Amino acid sequence: MKSRITTAAIGAVAIAALAGCSSAGGGAPAGEEGAFEPSDVRMTVPFSAGGGSDASGRAIASGLEAATGTTITVENREGGSGAVGYSHLFAQEGNGSQLLAAETTLLSLPLTTDVDYDHTSFTPIMKLGDDYTLVVVPADSPFQTCTDVVDAAGGEGVVAAVSGAISLDEIVFTLIEQDQGVEFDRVPFESGSEVIAGLLGGTVQVGSLNPGEVLGQLESGDLRALCSLSEERYEYEQIADVPTAIEEGIDVSFAQWRGFIAPGGISDEARQYWIDAAEQYVASEEYTTYIEENLMQPNAVYGDEFVEYLAQNSADLEAALAP
Amino acid sequence: MTLTPRIARVAFSAALALLGIAAAIGGWGYGVTQDNGQVGAGFLPVALGVIMALLAGADAVMALLQREERRAVDELGTLGSEVDAAAIDHVEESPDIDALGRSQRQRNRMLAIVGGMLLVALLLVPLLGLLLSLGLLMLAVAIAVERRPVVSSVIITVIAVGAFHIIFGLLLRVPLPTGLIGFI
Amino acid sequence: MLDNLLLGFQTALTLENVVWCFVGVLLGTVIGLLPGLGSTTGVAILLPITFALEPVTALIMLAGIYYGAQYGGTITSVLISTPGEAASVVTTIDGYQMAKKGRAGAALAISAIGSFIAAIISLALLIAIAPPLATIALEFQPVEMFAVMILGLVIVVTFQGGAFIRGALMAVAGLLVATVGIFPGTGSTERFTFGNVNLLSGIPFVEVMIGIFALGEVFYQIRVGAAEPIKARFKDMVIKRKDITDSMPAILRGSGIGFAFGVLPGAGSTLASFMSYGIERRVSRNRANFGKGAIEGVASPESANNAAANANFVPTLSLGIPGGATTAVLLGAFTIFGLQPGPLLFESQPELVWGLLVSFFIGNVLLLVLNLPLAPVFAQMLGIPYGYLYPIILLTSLVGAYAVSNNMFSVWLVLIFGVLGYIMKELDLPMAPFVLGLVLGPLFEKALVQTSAIGQGDLGVVFTSPIAVGVLLFAVAMVVVPKLIGLLRRRRVKETAGV
């Protein structure tokens, strides 16, 4: 009981400080800041404990806890490739104390499966950052550049690993196909680590993986990165010398984003409250650590900007997924 | 009371056979192969549905012809365990009285009551919350069905619900539904 | 090599690490006792509390939770016929029968002893040949895994011996139930979901297990009626020397089989446990008693799943590819602690790797020390009249079901499968093949889809791989050889009778 009172006190101080900050920044009217008081905050993670979404959900939750002083309970509601978690949040319309650790499935599921919601059903708060992919091949592969891969795909054929039909790697291979007018043979896997095993064992010739997933094998020399499917080269030193596909004349870059959203129909005060908290989190060291450990791009956007980003990203996805 | 084990078994196998056929038909609709000739979404449902229908049909026929079947089995001497199982079934079917002096008919009713209470308890979850309605279920079963003393049943229930509230709710932070009452 | 072992012991045997290992084992056992919470969930849920520890200590504790939870699941399998995870489904068959005969103490003790011996064997193998093994494991690509899955199906179908048709029927039913949800080949075709988002990722086997085993048994016991509570003298509860010597071959075989399957990425402990049981049921000297409470029927799968759990660390540590669901979560923990999992881990973090490996050994010693005296105490719980016990089992299973994915849908699933489990018990239909079919189904279909993709529609590619052909021949042998031996024996009996 005592500890709860202390947290509440810290929370009050933090909120006061927060209000001070943002009014100094000149954004929202300071008077309304106190109008939203979160209670029993839940962060839904639409995937099982232990995965990438879980890690980002927990990182965001603890960052927001530090920023706001409220306790945030992380709940894993897995199932239906994320559909169960999103549907849960969809049913919480108007509740400003419910959050969800979102990523690209927010956009891809409504495009491919029969769910009741789409990205406009929610209130986007923050995009945490982007995660691009690297095109990787086994160490002894004859391919030296991504152009080699594309040429071979146009010639004798290339077997590519994809982890699911609406996964990021399926999308990037489709985009390469559309851009270069070639076709890949595909073998479906279910996770990045299975793809790595498939590459090491010689079942597939090429895969597209997040740097964070594959860094261990790159450093050991078992796998090689040919190009990164990002707009610019990575700044992380381990992969800074990997050229982008664009440099090689393949005009493809596609980001998987991570971030968090709130239910639709929440008050403007609640929305602003979480945006402010998210800005504080991004300024913290915890954020930098999370982004660097996962080799992500720290390009956070908030609120309306995030909404625009989602609309654009959804249109890109739709184009890639269209048969 | 005409539901003998044999009829029940035939009925269940027949139901499985129908289910298999339904799955195969549904699977056909999903496409046995994809456009590129690879295994499609309907491949396993169709294959398994057909196999299940065949196996279930065979089981139903065997159950119907059980007498002949058993003689044949004895000659081979391989299905000894099944004969044992059948023998055990017989013992259970006799209208025996259990250790607490309850007849088979009473126990069948108990099962129906527990099942009904379970259903009601789950339907009450949105109102009372998970722990409270399941706690009430536990109490009701102990007192009304098992005829345990009221006081000790209440104590055990309160301890169990309390322990679960602490373990799942507080320590593991499982968001147990609290219902409209919003108590625990 | 000895240097490494020494380094491992130096790391793992500090007071702090032993204490946290013990805490992990203890917490894991408690988690495993709760239905719905297995080792994967246990490790994931308790992950945050290890953040304050040193990485080595934290990983040692998490590994302790891992096998502690497995053992906790065994306890409920034996006592109330409710497996804590898929890997202990097989244990319920003979374990629960032993408990009914008042020998729960022996069953629990032999699984602790079996796990311990399996841990020693697999530790030795891990230390001696982990890196070359990892290379062999990589040979098992989708095509080879397809053959392994066929072998698995053969074992499941012929699992219950005698009543072949019923066993096969239940296995096929399990496989069919496993096809519910999104088709893995395209990721977009929804099968038998009837528009329910909860079914998109399929019918989860944990809920099915809780329903069929725990609830089904409760319903069945109510109808069968109260028996005299199992009254066993304390003396009977303690394991006898003969039990141990009898079980030794089963433990050794189980450890070997378990280790072999545990090395394959993704195949995991479930496959290991029922493969081992399936083989033991054919070769054991005591095979006639399998299914009726044979101690070998507990020793074999329990040592297999523990060996597999340890062997899971071969691909995890030496390739950076998780061997199973729980090691996947552990691998995630590595990243959180700022460690980069991958082939370089052995070189860059020798202290951590060898300390972790040695801690498996220490953890299993602790588990043994903890559970040998506790086994008879747990077994005494069966002295409680069932009328007191089952209301608590009802509460535990339903709350546990909710905790699996924080969803009321799981609770309803448990009820539905509880009714189904009851019917299966009444009709004397074997339940283990059903659950194993359900567990194996998605793995089988994945391998099928991948093989078909590799062969561009032609499943015949499976015959181009020597390993796959070898595995398939073994599967054929599993069916044919026992029949042949039986036939030969009978002929010999006839001949001697004729003379």
Chain C touched by A79 (CB under 8 Å): yes
Cα–Cα distance between A16 and A64 in angstroms, integer? Answer: 15
The C-alpha of B113 sits at a distance from chain C's nearest C-alpha, in angstroms, of 11
Domain co-membership, B89 together with B37 = yes
Same domain for B108 and B159, yes or no, is yes
Nearest C-alpha neighbor of A252 from the set A136, A150, A164? A150
- In the predicted model, is pLDDT for residue A14 greater than 70? no
Q: B31 with B62, same domain?
A: yes
Q: Which run of H or E residues covers position A137? A: strand A134-138
**Where among B46, B73, B93 does a domain terminate?**
B93
Residue B105's pLDDT is what? 83
Chain A neighbours among B 161-180 (CB < 8 Å)? 173, 175
Whether A230 has a pLDDT exceeding 60, the answer reads yes
In the block, tokens 């169960």 appear at: A84
Same domain, yes or no: B59 and B111: no
What pLDDT does residue C267 have?
63
Domain boundaries, chain C: 2-498
C-contacting chains (≥3 CB pairs under 8 Å):
A, B
Test the C interface: residue of B16, B44, B127 with most C CBs within 10 Å: B44
- Coil, strand, or helix at residue A69? coil
State the ipTM, two decimals: 0.83
Candidates C185, C186, C344; nearest CB to A216: C344
In a domain, B21, yes or no: yes
Query: Which residues in B lie closer than 8 A to residue A73 (C-beta atoms)?
Result: 173, 175
Q: Does the pLDDT at position C499 exceed 70?
A: no
Q: Quick check: B101 contacting A, CB < 8 Å? A: no
Question: Which of the pair, A34 or C350, is modelled with greater confidence?
Answer: C350
Q: Mean pLDDT check: name the lowest of A13-22, A60-69, C135-144, C205-214.
A: A13-22
Residue B76, pLDDT > 50, answer no
CB atoms within 10 A of CB A58: 22
Q: Are residues B27 and B62 in the same domain?
A: yes
| Nearest by CB: C183 against B41, B102, B108 | B41
Closest partner residue to C198 among A50, A51, A79, by Cβ? A79
pLDDT of C464 strictly over 70:
yes
Average pLDDT, stretch C407-417?
A: 92
Sign of CA dihedral A216, A221, A227, A231: positive
Span C274-333, pLDDT tens digits = 889 988 888 888 888 888 889 999 999 999 988 998 888 888 888 888 777 788 778 878
Give the per-residue pLDDT at C236: 66
Contacts of A71 in chain C (CB under 8 A): none
Looking at residue B154, what is its pLDDT?
Answer: 92
A residues 184-223 near C, CB within 8 Å? 185-191, 193-194, 196-198, 200-203, 212, 215-217, 219-220, 222
In whole angstroms, give the CA distance from residue C274 to residue C304.
9
What C416-419 contacts at long range (C-beta under 8 Å, 24+ apart), as own/partner pairs, is C416/C211, C417/C207, C417/C208, C417/C210, C417/C211, C417/C212, C417/C215, C417/C216, C418/C211, C418/C212, C418/C214, C418/C215, C418/C216, C418/C218, C418/C219, C419/B115, C419/C215, C419/C216, C419/C219
What residues contact residue C238 under an 8 Å CB cut-off, 6+ apart? Answer: C105, C106, C109, C376
* pLDDT value for A50: 63
pLDDT in tens, C340-373: 777 778 878 888 888 888 888 888 888 888 888 8
User: What local confidence, expressed as pLDDT, does residue B8 receive?
Assistant: 87
CA distance C108 to C77: 10
Q: Judge: C224–B45 Cβ closer than 8 Å, yes or no.
A: no
What is the per-residue pLDDT for C23?
92
Do B128 and B108 lie in one domain? The reply is yes
Coil, helix or strand for A173?
helix
Smallest CA–CA distance, residue A189 to chain B, in Å, is 15
Euclidean distance between CA atoms C387 and C385, whole angstroms: 5
Under 8 Å CB pairs connecting chains A and B tally to 5
For the segment C425-440, what is each residue's pLDDT rounded down to a tens digit?
898 888 888 988 898 8
Q: Name which of C83, C80, C79 is nearest C108 in CA terms.
A: C79
Do B160 and B82 fall into the same domain? Answer: no
C-alpha to C-alpha distance for C77 and C110, rounded to whole angstroms = 14
Q: Please say if the pLDDT value at position C423 is more than 90.
A: yes
Mark whether B88 and B109 lie in a shared domain: no
Q: What is the pLDDT of residue A31?
A: 38
The neighbours of chain B, by the rule of 3 or more Cβ pairs under 8 Å, are A, C
CA distance A50 to A66: 22
Angle between helices A192-200 and A211-220 (to 10 degrees): 30
Residue B183 lies in a domain: no
Q: What is the mean pLDDT of residues B33-59?
A: 91
Q: Is A148 exposed, middle or buried (0-12, 13-18, 19+ CB in 10 A)?
A: middle
> Does the structure show a pLDDT above 50 at A19?
no
% of chain B at pLDDT higher than 70: 80
User: What is the pLDDT at residue C73?
Assistant: 86
In percent, the amount of chain A with pLDDT more than 70 equals 87
Residues of A in contact with B175 (CB under 8 A): 42, 73, 75
Indicate if B49 and B126 belong to the same structural domain.
no
Cα distance between residue C414 and residue C412, in whole Å: 5
Q: Which of C198, C322, C331 sits opposite A80 (nearest CB)?
A: C198
Average pLDDT over residues B100-114: 85
pLDDT of C339 > 90? The answer is no
Q: What is the pLDDT of residue A6?
A: 39
What residue numbers bound the domain in which B10 lies?
5-93
- Annotate C249-288 with b (16+ C-beta within 10 A) or e (fewer): bbbbbbbbbbbbbbbbbbbbbbbbbbbbbbbbbbebebbe
Integer Cα distance of C138 and A194 in angstroms: 11
Q: How many residues does chain C have?
A: 499
Helix H or strand E segment including A188 = strand A185-188
> According to the model, what pLDDT value does residue B26 have?
93
Q: Are strands A223-228 and A134-138 parallel, antiparallel or unpaired?
A: antiparallel
pLDDT digit string (tens) for C139-183?
888 899 899 889 888 888 877 666 788 889 999 999 999 999 888
Residue C26 touches chain B, beta carbons under 8 Å = no
Q: Which residue has the higher pLDDT, B54 or A319?
A: B54
Which residues on chain B are in Cβ contact (under 8 Å) with A187? none
Asked if the structure places residue B11 within a domain, the reply is yes
Q: Label each residue of C221-289 as H, E or C.
A: HHHHCCCCCCCCCHHHHCCCHHHHHHHHHHHHHHHHHHHHHHHCCCCHHHHHHHHHHHHHHHHCCCHHH
Q: Which two tokens stand for residue C394?
A: 């009802």
For helices C164-177 and C142-157, give the axis angle rounded to 10 degrees.
140
| Residue B26, in any domain of the structure | yes
Instruction: Please provide the average confidence, as pLDDT, over all residues in chain C.
Output: 85
Domain end position, chosen among B45, B61, B93: B93
pLDDT at A271 (0 to 100): 93
pLDDT of residue A1: 36
Please give the average per-residue pLDDT across B101-109, as a whole number: 83
Give C68-94 pLDDT, tens digit per residue.
888 888 898 898 888 877 888 889 889
Whether residue A198 and residue C341 make contact (CB cut-off 8 A), yes or no, is no
| Cα separation, C427 vs B57, whole angstroms | 16
| pLDDT for residue B87 | 42
User: What average pLDDT does range B106-133 have in this prediction?
Assistant: 91
Q: For chain C, what percent of residues have pLDDT higher than 70?
A: 95
Residue C2 identity = L
CA distance A54 to A48: 7
pLDDT of C490 reads 78
Residue contact B51–C185, C-beta within 8 A: no
Q: Which domains does chain A have, with CATH numbers?
A: 2-131+256-321 (3.40.190.150), 134-248 (3.40.190.10)
Write out pLDDT tens, residues A114-162.
Answer: 788 899 999 999 999 988 889 999 999 999 999 999 999 998 889 999 8
CA C179, C181, C184: angle at the middle one, nearest 5? 80
Structural domains of chain B, count: 2
| Pairing relationship of beta strands A41-45 and A72-76 according to DSSP bridges | parallel
Chain C: residue nearest B123 by CA? C412
Residues B42, B62 share a domain: yes
Q: Flag whether pLDDT at A107 surpasses 80.
A: yes
